């Protein structure tokens, strides 16, 4: 088991009122193990309780934001970071609960995304209130190719019917410009300018009194929830759980359990010739 250590999530205060959290497993492309997730939720909740913090930035160390959930056999031995009732559909229900833990924080949360943002990492980003991308960012949910739809089915809500359908039926990644155009993200910046631009936006967000800002944030959330977002995303966990019973999904997860994560992913993406199978470092 990975040693529980504060180094999995770094915390700093780059400017007054701004708490910045950094996913810190760069050698594993910031794969979201349960140990990392436990520390992340603790850090988010601590920032939300801190009266000196007005806005939170979430980013990744190394070459990318995050490659998604840690699929290694070792990661499967780590207990989940918070309690979710056991039973059918445990994992998607657990993930959705985590998304809404972030959604329900009082403080605004900004995702600062560079490089790959895949699978579970896209769910983490969409739980945030604002999303800003480097121009090298690539956003994708390749598990639809042989495992399941997302645990958190945000695509129709953020990206609209046509884009959501294309992403679900192909698993293809969006470029930064495409992700902004379809509504996944707010804006894209040159990679070298991303940190500076995100800090400038965070400074502006932090100028609003926090007792007003949390109501501003909730007003948008309540409008989305009145249209059915929360209930639809919870209902979507049943689709994810159903997909896990298919033969294709069982075969893919058998590869993960056997320790052949690379082989299972290559088998999934090989026919498409992208992600790891493109021949590029991804």
Q: State if pTM tops 0.85.
A: yes
Locus of tokens 């492309």: 29
* Predicted local distance difference test score (pLDDT) of residue 267: 84
What are 199-239's pLDDT values in tens digits? Answer: 999 999 999 999 999 999 999 999 999 999 999 999 999 99
What are 106-123's pLDDT values in tens digits? Answer: 999 999 999 999 999 999
Name 117's bridge partners: 66, 139
* From 13-17, 58-62, 146-150, 267-271, the region with the lowest mean pLDDT: 267-271
Spacing of C-alpha 202 from chain mean position: 19
* From 3-12, 96-105, 111-120, the region with the lowest mean pLDDT: 3-12
The domain spans of the chain are 6-278
For domain 6-278, the question of CATH label 3.90.226.10 is answered with yes
């Amino acid at each position: 088991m990975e040693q529980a250590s504060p180094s999995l999530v770094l915390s700093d205060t780059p400017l007054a009122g701004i708490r910045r959290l950094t996913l810190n497993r760069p050698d594993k492309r910031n794969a979201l193990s349960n140990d990392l997730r436990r520390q992340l939720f603790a850090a988010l909740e601590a920032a939300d309780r801190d009266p000196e913090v007005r806005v939170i930035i979430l980013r990744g160390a190394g070459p990318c934001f995050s490659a998604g959930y840690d699929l290694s056999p070792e990661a499967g031995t780590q207990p989940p970071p918070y309690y979710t009732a056991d039973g059918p559909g445990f994992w998607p229900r657990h993930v959705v609960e985590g998304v809404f833990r972030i959604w329900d924080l009082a403080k605004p949360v900004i995702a600062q995304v560079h490089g790959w943002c895949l699978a579970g990492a896209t769910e983490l980003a969409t739980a945030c209130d604002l999303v800003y991308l480097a121009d090298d960012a690539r956003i994708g949910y390749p598990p639809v190719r042989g495992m399941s739809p997302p645990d958190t089915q945000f695509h129709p809500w953020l990206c609209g019917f046509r884009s959501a359908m294309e992403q679900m039926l192909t698993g293809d990644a969006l470029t930064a410009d495409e992700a902004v155009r379809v509504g996944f993200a707010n804006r894209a910046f040159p990679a070298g300018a991303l940190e500076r631009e995100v800090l400038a936006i965070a400074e502006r967000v932090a100028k609003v009194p926090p007792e007003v800002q949390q109501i501003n944030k909730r007003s948008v959330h309540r409008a989305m929830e009145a249209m059915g977002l929360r209930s639809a995303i919870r209902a979507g966990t049943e689709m994810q759980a159903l997909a896990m019973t298919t033969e294709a999904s069982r075969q893919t997860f058998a590869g993960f359990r056997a320790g052949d994560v690379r082989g299972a992913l290559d088998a999934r993406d090989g026919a498409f010739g992208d992600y790891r199978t493109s021949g590029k470092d991804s």
